[in-house]
């Protein structure tokens, strides 16, 4: 029997699709999105921008009452944080345009300046809350331990990358001078009674060890030394012993050593699913100490609820994924080492901060990256993220995809000002 042309060209009926077919389609679409060369680049930009915007919003809300009491204006600390962001965003953009050679060189002077500043803070620094970590220059405050984190990332990554042999790095090469250099930096920070930053430096060092492929015995020895140093630091400072006791049972001394932890848990618990509303925190009315810095995550949970806190966790998770994606997809040893170390720094510090607020980790007094108040922490973090953007451009196919995209907003603005030739010259190099 012959069939008509219409019947021959008619598509065969598709089988009825179930939930499994829809899930496969969605997974395929997600895989296609992740395979694109600029996925990492845009993930870094998106997560950084959202966390920074959320941070500015929360600093304004969390600091307004105390700023009004101390300065007469509820916007005082918000304006300072905004100025830091106004400096940090261009710094991030500049770092995203710099070559890898610059970052390999920059680690050495940055480490030297960090050592010098940490020595200065021991003599001319101000001591607050049991830690001596700030240098006051007029209305500006500098915390030298913050740029020291970036310095350790760059310096340590370059030291190990220079010892690379056929794409592999011998872990024995890290003993001198990386381990002594890290130890000296950590000791100087500990002399300033800053246990939280010492922990972050230790996480950076462990990340470098992990990428190098150090044996388990070396990890065990270093962890044992770190635990011993932490125990000594806790024993010699009574306030740290109080913090450990408050961590184990904050409600046993809710008006004393456990006060901050208890108030933070009250803030988180009262937020519910969707929070009390932006600006509606009760704990910021002089109940929760340092709500704009160390415990801003508690104010965020109170005002934006579980939904807001999960969004922050997801953004840091995506940022960590993007950093590790760069480390995996780029073959340069320096980029692999520095990208992994930056993830350990930024995501590790965020985890410690949020864990302290939730009561699952002891309070260490370190800020939540990009969100907490403090220009000394914000500027190095944005510089590191700009560097990660520069590395993301070296993923397979990323440069071609950027070139096909055409000039960006900055290049178009320069062209409108009659300076487009500078941008075209840089693009054709």
pLDDT of residue 351: 95
What kind and span of H or E run contains 44? helix 39-71
CA separation for the pair 305, 411 (Å, rounded)? 40
pLDDT of residue 429: 43
pLDDT tens by residue, 140-198:
778 888 899 999 999 999 988 887 765 566 666 667 788 888 888 988 888 877 778 88
Residue 375, classified by CB atoms within 10 Å of its CB into exposed (0-12), middle (13-18) or buried (19+), is: buried
Q: Which two tokens stand for residue 141?
A: 């405050």
E strands, 96-194, in order:
126-128, 131-137, 140-142, 164-165, 168-169
pLDDT of residue 360: 87
In terms of Cα–Cα distance, which of 375, 370, 266, 421 is closest to 58? Answer: 370
- Residue length of the chain: 429
pLDDT of residue 423: 44
Residues 6+ apart with CB under 8 A from 223: none
3-state secondary structure of 37: coil
Query: What's the whole-model pTM score?
Result: 0.85
Q: What is the pLDDT along the chain (429 residues), one digit of tens a residue?
A: 445 555 555 555 555 555 667 677 666 666 666 667 788 999 999 999 999 999 999 999 999 999 998 888 899 999 999 999 999 999 999 999 999 999 999 999 999 998 998 888 888 766 665 566 777 776 677 888 889 999 999 999 998 888 776 556 666 666 778 888 888 898 888 887 777 888 899 999 999 888 887 778 887 888 888 788 777 777 776 666 777 777 777 887 778 778 888 999 999 999 889 999 998 899 999 888 888 888 999 999 999 999 999 999 999 999 999 999 999 998 889 999 999 999 999 999 999 999 999 988 888 888 999 999 988 899 999 999 999 999 999 888 777 777 777 665 555 544 544 554 444 444 444
Question: 164: which strand partners?
Answer: 169
pLDDT of residue 226: 79
Q: Which two tokens stand for residue 36?
A: 């694109």
CA separation for the pair 41, 290 (Å, rounded)? 34
- Find out whether 326 and 395 touch, Cβ atoms under 8 Å: yes
pLDDT tens by residue, 246-303:
777 788 777 877 888 899 999 999 988 999 999 889 999 988 888 888 899 999 999 9
CA separation for the pair 330, 304 (Å, rounded)? 38
Q: Which two tokens stand for residue 21?
A: 């077919």
């Amino acid at each position: 029997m012959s069939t008509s042309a219409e019947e021959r060209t008619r598509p065969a009926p598709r089988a009825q699709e179930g939930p499994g077919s829809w899930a496969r389609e969605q997974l395929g679409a997600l895989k296609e999105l992740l395979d694109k060369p600029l996925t990492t680049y845009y993930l870094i930009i998106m997560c950084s921008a959202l966390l920074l915007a959320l941070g500015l919003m929360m600093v304004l809300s969390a600091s307004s009452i105390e700023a009004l009491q101390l300065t007469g204006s509820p916007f005082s600390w918000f304006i300072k944080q905004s100025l830091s962001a106004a400096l940090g965003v261009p710094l991030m953009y500049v770092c995203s345009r710099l070559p890898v050679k610059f970052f390999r060189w920059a680690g050495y002077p940055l480490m030297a300046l960090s050592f010098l500043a940490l020595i200065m803070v021991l003599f001319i620094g101000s001591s607050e809350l049991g830690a001596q970590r700030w240098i006051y220059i007029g209305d500006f405050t500098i915390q030298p331990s913050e740029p020291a984190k970036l310095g350790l990332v760059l310096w340590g990554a370059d030291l190990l990358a220079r010892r690379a042999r056929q794409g592999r790095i011998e872990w024995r090469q890290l003993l001198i001078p990386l381990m002594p250099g890290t130890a000296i930096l950590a000791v100087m920070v500990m002399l300033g009674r800053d246990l939280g930053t010492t922990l972050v430096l230790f996480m950076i060092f462990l990340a470098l060890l992990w990428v190098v492929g150090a044996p388990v015995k070396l990890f065990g020895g270093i962890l044992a030394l770190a635990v011993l140093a932490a125990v000594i630091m806790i024993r010699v400072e009574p306030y740290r012993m109080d913090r450990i006791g408050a961590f184990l049972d904050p409600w046993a001394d809710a008006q004393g050593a456990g006060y901050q932890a208890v108030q933070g848990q009250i803030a988180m618990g009262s937020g519910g699913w969707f929070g009390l509303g932006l600006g509606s925190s009760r704990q910021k009315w002089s109940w929760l100490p340092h709500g704009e810095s160390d415990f801003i995550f508690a104010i965020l949970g109170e005002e934006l609820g579980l939904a807001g806190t999960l969004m922050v966790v997801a953004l840091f998770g995506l940022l960590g994924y993007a950093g590790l994606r760069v480390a995996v997809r780029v073959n340069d040893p320096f980029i692999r080492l520095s990208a992994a170390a930056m993830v350990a720094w930024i995501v590790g510090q965020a985890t410690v901060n949020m864990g302290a607020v939730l009561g699952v980790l002891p309070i260490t007094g370190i800020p939540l990256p990009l969100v907490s108040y403090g220009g000394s922490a914000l500027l190095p973090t944005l510089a590191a993220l700009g560097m990660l953007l520069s590395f993301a451009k070296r993923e397979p196919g990323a440069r071609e995809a950027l070139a096909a995209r055409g000039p960006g907003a900055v290049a178009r603005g320069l062209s409108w000002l009659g300076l487009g030739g500078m941008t075209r010259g840089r693009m054709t190099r």
